[in-house]
Amino acid sequence: MAQRYGGKYSPDGSSEDAPKPRGTFDGARVEPAGARANVMFIPAIPLVFMSINDGAIGMSLGLGAAGFLTGAALLLREGLRAEAAFNARKVARRPAFPRKMAASLLTGIGVGVAAFRNDYLDAEVAGQVSLIAPVLFGAAGTALHALAFGIDPLSDKGMEGVDTFQQDRVARVVDEAEAYLDAMTEAVKRAKNRQIEARVERFQATARDLFRTVEEDPRDLSGARKYLTVYLRGARDATVKFADFYSRSRDEKALADYVALLDDLEQNFAARTQKMLLDDRSDLTVEIDVLRERLQREGVRLD
């Protein structure tokens, strides 16, 4: 169903309804698995249709090659998303499974099987099948895929001097919080209102500022846990109920109440983030003062 766009500069728009910009592209999230990853699903399609009438062995080889290529495309898409999540965080563990490198390997296998299928069909006349060309084609496919999309992160980032136990606790809580935000994004789409979708994205950007602050200093988790679990779970539930109700009734009062809720949540999340930053600065000042006192007691003067 077509959806009419509305905004501040639309004929029926108003400046009061328009969301206040948080900053140019601030908090914007781009889908990392875009067109260049989705195009990798295409080669398997003609391979399937070309193999239907090639006999049992030819068809099996063709379908097998298509399966390898499709699996590689799926792994690539998930690998790109995992890499984007890794890059978005200042403190992160490397992906547990190297999806992009596995996708490169599966692509090489798929290309090699497809080349072997062609040689097999030709060999019915020539009388022999060589493995040299399939192996070379497979190796070339693997190398080109790796050059085009890169490899997975191979080491942790920002983990020097970090308590791994505490960091694992933070990672679990942040992953749960991200799931709540993703659920909000999916739910608010049912409201079919682009302004409220943009308002939810703005709140999510503020929430992710808090996530990054907690990740940088796991000691802040105890003070921020209720924000990352209780408050975000409530925000998700409220978003689901609002989207279901507003999609049926288009009630402006419900819309205003939901926007007010997002305003309150955003202010509280921003205030909590600022408080943690101030606490971190106070801890740094204390550490500097203690070090200065120790140096002075040992006869070292700091001019």
Specify which of 21-25, 30-34, 155-159, 238-242 reaches the highest per-range mean pLDDT: 238-242
Q: Tens digits of per-residue pLDDT, 175-221? A: 888 899 999 999 999 988 888 999 999 999 998 888 888 877 777 77
Residue 53: exposure state from Cβ atoms within 10 A (0-12, 13-18, ≥19): exposed
Nearest Cα neighbor of 159 from 94, 240, 67, 83 is 94
What are the CB-based long-range contacts (under 8 Å, 24+) for 159-167?
159/91, 159/93, 162/91, 162/218, 163/218, 166/218, 166/219, 166/221, 167/91, 167/93, 167/215, 167/218
Q: Tens digits of per-residue pLDDT, 215-233? A: 777 777 777 888 888 889 9
Confidence check: pLDDT of 12 > 70? no
Alpha-carbon span 2 to 200, nearest angstrom:
22
More confident residue, 249 or 143: 143
Based on its alpha-carbon atoms, the radius of gyration of the chain, rounded to whole angstroms, reads 27
Which two structure tokens, joined as six digits, stand for 44? Answer: 């398997």
pLDDT for the residue 21: 45
CB 63 within 8 A of CB 51: yes
Consecutive H or E run containing 123: helix 99-126
Q: Tens digits of per-residue pLDDT, 96-147? A: 889 999 999 999 999 999 999 888 777 655 556 778 889 999 999 999 999 9
Which two structure tokens, joined as six digits, stand for 50? Answer: 């070309």
CB 134 within 8 A of CB 141: no
Q: Tens digits of per-residue pLDDT, 274-287? A: 887 776 555 556 56
**What proportion of the chain, given as a percentage, has pLDDT over 70?**
76
